[in-house]
Amino acid sequence: MTQCYSAEVGGRCIFIEEIFLKPELRGQGLGTELMAWLEREYPAARRFRLEVTQVNQRAVRLYQRAGYEFLRYDQMVLDKIN
């Protein structure tokens, strides 16, 4: 998790950077529990944000059931890796 202040949302934003469940643990409701735990753990957050690829439809459905929506704007980056 990474936290920052976001002027766009007027408060704390939590970036969820990596979620991975081993295949044998999937389909047991653990992802749903994890998403609910994150909201309880960071009650002051105004936004939770994550990235997901469209090809990962199980993850997309999990996040949508948790109330997440797709943002509809482009992002740009400058990676400074040597």
Q: What is the pLDDT of residue 73?
A: 87
pTM equals 0.86
Question: What string of pLDDT tens digits covers the 82 residues of the chain?
Answer: 899 999 999 999 999 999 999 999 999 999 999 999 999 999 999 999 999 999 999 999 999 999 999 998 898 999 998 7
CA distances from 25 to 46, 52, 64 (A): 30, 19, 20
3-state secondary structure of 51: coil
Q: What is the pLDDT of residue 5?
A: 95
CA distances from 14 to 49, 80, 82 (A): 6, 23, 28
On whether the CB atoms of residues 21 and 29 are closer than 8 A, the answer is no
The CATH number for 2-65, chosen from 3.40.630.30, 3.30.1330.10, 3.30.70.1880, 3.40.50.720, is: 3.40.630.30
